[in-house]
Structure 1
Amino acid sequence: MAFYDTASRTAYFIEFGAGRPIVLLHGISNSGRAWGPQIAPLVEAGYRVIVPDHAGHGASGKLTTPIGVAALAGDIEALLAHLDIGPVDLVGLH
């Protein structure tokens, strides 16, 4: 399990493969597990697949205050900085 700290929160992510990075974002009230069926085909296609759990979701830390979309976007920016990754392909569910 991999964690990173952002804005006084602990967030979880997992990654698979190597190559061009792609970040898979889950919808609200879900977790990165929603992407399970897509991970292996993306790795086989040559992607480095990065799947975070948003704050308060999945294996990420619990929230103590409400959070908005801007903060979630900031968390993803912090994850990319943590991984020292530049441009990525970004895919999301709602």
Structure 2
Amino acid sequence: MQEGNQIFNIAAVLPVAESFGFCDEIRKRTSGLASPQLAFSHWETIDLDPYWEPCTEEEMAHYGEKYDSQNRAKNYVNQVRKRKGLRTEEKIVMHAEKQRTLGKKK
């Protein structure tokens, strides 16, 4: 906080993949009072394989056969593919309770 006024300066590091839409979201949540400024700082690789699945018996016992946890690298790949309008391998319907058939209108 700066002395003599009510301005806060916040410095943070966030991944570029998570910064898309950040400025709009901050302005929306603060009713336009905040003015974020993003600047590139550095880069580093993510040591995760986005397409990793458990294959040994030990991994299946530890993670389960389907590995339902979120893979951060896979999430980033899917976000980029969605922004570019490319196909992703995500399920649209997770738990369907009802199925509805629409009739043809004449």
Of Structure 1 and Structure 2, which has the larger fraction of its residues in strand? Answer: 1
> Normalized against structure 2, the TM-score is what?
0.21
> Normalized against structure 1, the TM-score is what?
0.23
Higher relative contact order (CA 8 A, sep 6+): 1
